[in-house]
Structure 1
């Protein structure tokens, strides 16, 4: 397979370590400790019984930590995949409580890293840190997703002790970004603070610490995990990274760039961009009917590249070489009617897929692959709504900019997104100012992101998965990162990190995809048994009876329970059955990773 060559530059920074700012730029050759052909094999975890639960309230003590409640949770209180989670102990608490560093009319709260930890009575000897998504701000139920959509099990159900946190701030307000310490907690310090405390709590509950420790999450949770891989490489044995926003500040800027392109289309047609609640009218620039037109054109050029015409594009690189929006989709000669795209639409869509750029043509973020999953509702929500409402604009304004913007921006997120200056505003993610002594690029991203030598040499492993139709974090960005990690390890990193692309999957889950899979079990088997994940079987969720929940966007032409192998990049799933026109295309057994 021929790999597509890409190079991203921002503030004049290009080269082997993709998308790193100058102050942290380290040559690929700095990864001096080359991987050996025989890495350590870690032993398997051993099970234990919970020694105490409610007594932990009075017995456990850790620096700057307050346990606020301890209770026994009966079996069946929580369910996953249609079956009950066993009895466990629930511990809630907070760390590093303090007053806010700033005191304004909108930000005068106290802060703490709040958490909950669930400790199974029948423990498998493992610890799982659950990285949560978005801007955090709430303590999600500590169950530990195994990846993808429609979970049939989770880490807690499998017997892990699991911790979840709010990453150092409470509530949905983005104004925590005005507090410099809250920024750092969100970026990396919550994981650094909670990890030793959680292991100590496990020791108090079971009489010993965890044999093996894992961390995982999707989206911002994937970012947390990748950051931990470079900042906490000795703390975890397995890292499960989903749809990683590891370059989140740049990706958020790219969302604003996309909104600006859509706005140009409708403004030229006499429509003023507007919001109604949490939705915008930017979808008028690229309607559902027109997205279906483009999806059909992508499938015409790319569907059969993997040997099966099945509504999925496995060969991302091949599709890049085969599909050209300008020539594959008709250009309107009169009014738009759903059978063509106007020249303005093609210009806007091409610019978005080529990646955000400033007026000098310098890349601000990576490009995206064309994928037929763009017809999904999740894709549309990120492109037309989250890009101009209470997601990306407020993240950029209050968390990633230095100094943060005036709080009044929150009253006009659409205006902020459309007026954001790609020349003068975008570079502020690399800047520091006053009490904001660490830039967003520093606290949000992995440190020297291609050097995973400490993790590698311990025998730890990493599995990364990413949907090819993710509209907010480009799978091409993750692909470039993996290529750079490979280069930094003598051209082969497969003995400790593997990357799986999920065709058609939108952000973290859903889309026109087989998105139900278990990466955590594959990771455990790799870490503790040395079983390399040569493929992970994924299932569609078109069946209303799917215990993990139905994905209503699965096409009627698919078997609702279609399976596919997810293949470690650069391999793709290729049809090797005997009849590509039969039901053989619904079964992963008829596909091999090549």
Structure 2
């Protein structure tokens, strides 16, 4: 893609629109993270309000990566009083039910001006705690972003009963990735602008990181000792992109259910939606039928029938959807007790790889099929299993409708806005063959599939990847395949020095269906700062109300191991299971 980013004159014009004074703080592109660690720390309560109106010059934003940028401006800086935890009765995800307690902190809101003045600014929020531990956490986004990530919520997979990073003394921050989704507008509409698209692909996260380091330097009088990035889904991809493109910027990264093979996911997701047209759409009662058939074939294989398929990879070989085919002829409609030919073919498409006719970035030629288990997960409303991610409330429409599945709305929209760059085109007409040059271009910019993490390893970085095995928003086998590619490139022994891959059986994309909660930030920090590699981690499932009782627990197993019941003991206790291959 020819990123026609307006050069010096546009930067000057952008700077002129952001009136205010400028400062020279620690330069994030050249100053080590530990620089200034011994300097006396300023009281952020005293410096907070003085941050408003400040300007960070373009030379401090993305310069080491040769990213063009306008200046950043602090629009407001306000002191926030401590607030207690709050729990909602309902929410779209487990984590959304909890608004964690916050300490007293300085809330900083600002924006980074674009170079192309037709592009939106990059909005950001930075939270500066009164009691700083010298560390920071950048939160990743989700979906197509377009909403400001505040950095105030729970981290992905976090336990409900443990403090959020800000309450632990971390500076936290997030961004909208350079665009704001507007009511009535497709979430992918921003991608028609080159700079907005590049910011979403990878540039905005680097730019905001640099701004955050500069703000920390101004607020506290020193740079952070350690920097962490934590994200899930799209945010998981962003974390991997930071390790691959900007390996010097973060000491530790936690990437949960990352949509790393983004190009493959969009085409495969659209393919899966098309498969449910013309009689292939599967009704809710039939989804339950498939779910129960998977459990009958695989649930007890781990030693206990408890509704969780622990050996999800092994179950792929034991479950055959064709056995649910209706014994009818002439294409008669399926009952709730069987599947028609079209429905069987739709499920087989979901389980099959999507193959490209040419090679994408980093040598990939296909996107892996989805696995089995968790088909009927609906623990937290419309965010689990097939009904949310793959099927929706009605068969796919052209153009996509509100009651369609997330996979169709996202995949079809990506094909229209990102690849064809034609909002009116029928997504069924957007094929890799017709748009080969653009597909390769986006893959090179967006897909976080580069297995060469040698620079990240050399700087001492640590990376933890967590895949949920009942995920239908993206295939967990994409992340598994990526880690295996790193092992092939760098060697299994060297990879083990800095990278861990864990899998959570029965858990869907957002954490529903089975034990899914673990304090991964602490595990990551201990590995980075104490050299203590993760060990003995457990997944728990907590009641989403105080006192957040643990209802079930499992050992968190490193791939390819999975938890097997040992034949005795409480089936809801992690101690009754052992990781096995």
Query: Do they fold alike, i.e. is TM over 0.5?
Result: yes
Secondary structure of 1:169's counterpart equals coil
1:298 and 2:287 equivalent? Answer: no
- The answer to whether the Cα contact below 8 Å between 2:374 and 2:508 also exists between their aligned partners in 1 is no
Native 8 Å contact 1:188 1:224 kept in 2: yes
Q: Find the partner of 1:591 among 556, 561, 577.
A: 577
Structure 1 counterpart SS, 2:492: coil
Alignment deviations for residues 415-455 of structure 1 (CA, whole Å, 9 cap, x no partner):
x34x2344534645424xxxxxxx21122123x61111111
Count of residue pairs the alignment pairs up? 490
- In 2, Cα distance between equivalents of 1:226 and 1:246: 7
1:387–1:196 Cα change, 3 Å: closer
How far apart, in 2, do the equivalents of 1:140 and 1:568 lie?
30
Change (3 A) 1:560 1:163: closer
- TM-superposed CA distance for 1:357, in Å, is 4.6
Q: What TM-score do you get using the length of structure 1 for normalisation?
A: 0.76
Structure 1: distance between partners of 2:321 and 2:501? 28
- The 3-state SS of whatever aligns with 2:52 is helix
Cα distance in 2, alignment partners of residues 494 and 195 from structure 1: 27
After the TM superposition, which residues 100-499 of structure 1 pair with which residues of structure 2 at under 5 Å, given as runs?
100-101=117-118, 110-143=119-152, 145-148=154-157, 151-152=160-161, 153-172=163-182, 173=185, 174-266=188-280, 285-327=281-323, 329=324, 331-333=326-328, 335-357=333-355, 364-376=366-378, 377=382, 378-379=384-385, 380-384=387-391, 385-387=404-406, 390-399=409-418, 401=419, 403-405=420-422, 407-409=423-425, 416-417=426-427, 419-422=428-431, 424-425=433-434, 427=436, 429-431=438-440, 439-446=441-448, 449-492=450-493, 493-499=495-501
> Structure 2 vs 1, CA of residues 578 and 426 (structure 1 numbering), >3 Å: closer, same or farther?
farther
Is the Cα–Cα contact under 8 Å of residues 575 and 591 in structure 1 kept in the other structure? yes
**Native 8 Å contact 2:554 2:574 kept in 1:** yes
- Asked if residue 72 in structure 1 is aligned to residue 79 in structure 2, the reply is yes
On the 8 A contact 2:226/2:250 being kept in 1, the answer is: yes
CA displacement at 1:494 relative to structure 2 = 2.2
Residues 502-543 of structure 1, C-alpha deviations (whole Å, 9 max, x = no match):
112222322x221222211111111112222234322224x3
How far off its partner does 1:184 sit?
A: 0.6
Please report how far the alpha carbon of residue 358 of structure 1 lies from its aligned counterpart in structure 2 after TM superposition: 6.8
Q: TM-score, normalised by structure 2?
A: 0.78
Residue 429 to residue 255, structure 1, CA distance change in 2 (3 Å): farther
Q: Give the unaligned 5+ runs of structure 1.
A: 1-41, 102-109, 267-284, 410-415, 432-438, 549-558
Aligned-residue offset at 1:243: 1.0
The answer to whether the Cα contact below 8 Å between 2:140 and 2:235 also exists between their aligned partners in 1 is yes
Displacement, 1:140?
A: 2.1
Q: Deviations over 1:459-513 (max 9, x none)?
A: 2111111211211210011111111112223223222111111112222322x22
Q: Distance between the aligned counterparts of 1:293 and 1:162, measured in 2?
A: 44
Shift of 1:186: 0.7
Instruction: Please identify, of 217-226 and 421-430, the stretch whose mean Cα deviation from structure 2 is larger.
Output: 421-430
Please report the RMSD computed on the Cα atoms of aligned residues, expressed in angstroms: 2.8
| Structure 2 CA distance for aligned equivalents of residues 137 and 213 of structure 1 | 24
Instruction: Give the superposition deviation at 1:265.
Output: 2.1
Give runs of aligned pairs for residues 44-83 of structure 1, distance below 5 A: 50-51=43-44, 52-57=47-52, 61-63=56-58, 64-76=71-83, 81=98
| Selected match of 1:561 from 523, 544, 551 | 551
Q: What are structure 2's unaligned runs of at least 5 residues?
A: 1-33, 59-70, 88-97, 359-363, 392-403
| Among candidates 94, 102, 113, match of residue 111 of structure 2 | 94
- SS of corresponding position for 1:163: strand
Equivalent residue for 1:515? 516
Q: 1:57-85: per-residue Cα shift (whole Å, max 9, x none)?
A: 26664431111101001100775857621
